[in-house]
């Protein structure tokens, strides 16, 4: 997608600021409690990290709604896998990697859809050119 033509691209670039961010040690403590199974800490982690992950997805996809969908999908995977995370300090890189992979999957899917649509159009043109009128 051409990011210069997408009006959401500018909106994407404005999000993801680091205002009201807890210090790094506090983030690690929250992540560790979430890894240990604390639902309240997981919710806090999600509130802190969701805007950052949406902004990351937006930079990759260039479209705000797709970015929100990608981040939401990533949170499902994060929620299911957080108990397997061995080091709470790795949470940022781990979560960004999950979002990146989700975005890559969406981009590949979009490219496949466009290629299929193009092939269908080409087939329709080919078929239209070979049709003969009934006698």
pLDDT digits (tens, 9 = 90+) for 74-89: 999 999 999 999 999 9
Residue 10 phi, psi dihedral angles, 5° rounding: -65, -40
Q: Check residue 68 and give its pLDDT.
A: 96
pTM metric for this prediction: 0.70
Task: Assess if residue 73 is contained within a domain.
Answer: yes
Domain range for 18 is 7-130
Count of domains for the chain: 1
CA–CA separation, 122 and 75 (whole Å)? 39
The enclosing domain of 63 has a CATH number of: 1.10.1740.10
1 domain residue, yes or no? no
Does a structural domain hold residue 57? yes
In a domain, 92, yes or no: yes
Give first-to-last CA distance, the chain, whole Å.
47
135 within a domain of the structure (yes/no) = no
How many Å apart are CA 98 and CA 94, to the nearest integer? 6
Burial of 99 (0-12, 13-18, 19+ CB in 10 A): buried
Average pLDDT over residues 19-46: 91
39 falls within a domain: yes
């Amino acid at each position: 997608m051409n990011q210069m033509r997408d009006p959401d691209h500018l909106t994407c670039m404005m999000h993801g600021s680091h205002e009201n961010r807890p210090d790094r040690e506090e983030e690690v403590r929250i992540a560790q409690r979430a890894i240990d199974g604390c639902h309240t800490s997981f919710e806090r982690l999600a509130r802190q990290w969701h805007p950052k992950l949406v902004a990351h997805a937006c930079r990759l996809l260039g479209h705000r709604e797709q970015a929100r969908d990608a981040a939401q999908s990533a949170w499902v995977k994060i929620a299911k896998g957080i108990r397997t995370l061995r080091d709470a300090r790795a949470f940022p890189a781990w979560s960004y990697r999950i979002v990146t992979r989700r975005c890559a999957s969406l981009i590949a899917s979009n490219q496949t859809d466009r290629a299929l649509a193009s092939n269908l159009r080409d087939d329709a043109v080919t078929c239209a050119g070979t049709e003969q009128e009934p006698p």
